[in-house]
Amino acid sequence: MANIKDVAREAGVSVATVSRVFSGAAPVSEATAERVRAIAARLDYIPDAAARSLITGRTHALGVVLPELHGEFFTEVIRGLDRAARQHGLHLLVSGSNADAAAFEAALRSMRGRIDGLVLMTPDRVMSTAAERFRHAVPVVLLNPATPAGHCDAITFDNEGGGYVMTRHLLALGHTRVATITGPLGNVDATERLAGYRRAMREAGMADPALELTGDFTEVGGHAAALRLLALVPRPTAVFVGNDPMAVSVLAAFREHEVAVPGEIAVGGFDDTTISRYLTPALTTVRVDLDALGRLAVERLAARGRGETGDGVVEQLPVTLVIRESCGCVKR
């Protein structure tokens, strides 16, 4: 494999010039830079990232810590992050915290000194507090933080509005007993979606705490909550499920007990993950642009890398109601 001296000799420039082309530490004419890059590609020269980071003080890597790494929701977020990072010439170091505060802190410590910026999804208050402390090391962008962003930038989506519009939709179809299966207690997404549900039910004069069943955003938790829902007397005729993975298992539980959807119970979800449109019946849900969530986080960190100032910028992404068969509005 060629080294930097081989590239310099072939291009007729100094080693320092080749270094500047790849580090961006000082300006080089576009013609020279193009010639150096072309020769480097032909010789299969790969710049030494570690050496370059010592010169520039930058690693050209971003850290990403998410509560989980499995599941379509997180896959979509990572896809958006990765696509945007590559466009900016950046790489990702990704870790999952498993919603555990100690694991979250360990992941943050392991990335210190190895990244130029950090993207954190912090769905509970303990992790949001830890994230605020880390901002002194590198720029931090929080995704749907459980507490106000403080000095960190944050990108959120309209959880409460989504819960509200879904519940209003089910009520508008004539349902008078609309239940909800929430996410875990203390999770900001679950709390905000429940708040939207409650607002819609209050406005309709139909609020009933007995119709609020706690889930955990997992398929297993959704299935268990669906069985509790079926035991309610009188049985609800519609249910807003706090995320699509739980909605998948809710549909399965209803099918196992020969409860027709949407004939006996209408079902709505949240997230609009890809699987939702391929279920039988296809799932009515609230669409969140997860790709945009990841993309905007990287763009915010890239802006910080360019020296843009102004901490604590919060941007909220809109959500959209997607109507399919599971609520009874679309004929099969």
Q: Strands 266-268 and 238-241: what pairing?
A: parallel
Please tell me which residue, 207 or 302, carries the higher pLDDT value: 207
Pairwise CA distance, residues 159 & 298, whole Å:
22
Burial class (CB in 10 A: 0-12, 13-18, 19+), 46: exposed
Pairwise CA distance, residues 77 & 61, whole Å:
17
Residue-level pLDDT at 17: 87
- Sketch out the chain's domains with CATH numbers: 4-56 (1.10.260.40), 61-158+289-317 (3.40.50.2300), 159-288+321-327 (3.40.50.2300)
Please tell me which residue, 281 or 41, carries the higher pLDDT value: 281
Residue-level pLDDT at 51: 46
pTM, rounded to two decimals: 0.77
Pairwise CA distance, residues 185 & 117, whole Å:
30
Residue-level pLDDT at 329: 84
Residue-level pLDDT at 332: 44
308-326 pLDDT per residue, tens: 666 677 888 999 999 999 9
Residue-level pLDDT at 54: 39
Residue-level pLDDT at 290: 87
Please tell me which residue, 158 or 135, carries the higher pLDDT value: 158
Mean pLDDT, residues 133-157 taken together: 74
List of long-range contacts for 260-266, beta carbons under 8 Å, 24+ apart? 261/326, 262/325, 262/326, 262/327, 262/328, 263/328, 264/235, 264/237, 265/235, 265/236, 265/237, 265/238, 265/239, 266/170, 266/173, 266/175, 266/237, 266/238, 266/239, 266/326, 266/327, 266/328
Residue-level pLDDT at 137: 65
Which element (helix H / strand E) includes 92? strand 91-96
243-272 pLDDT per residue, tens: 999 999 999 999 999 999 999 999 999 999
pLDDT at 208 over 60: yes
Residue-level pLDDT at 55: 43
Quickly list DSSP for 251-277: HHHHHHTT--TTTT-EEE-SB--GGGG
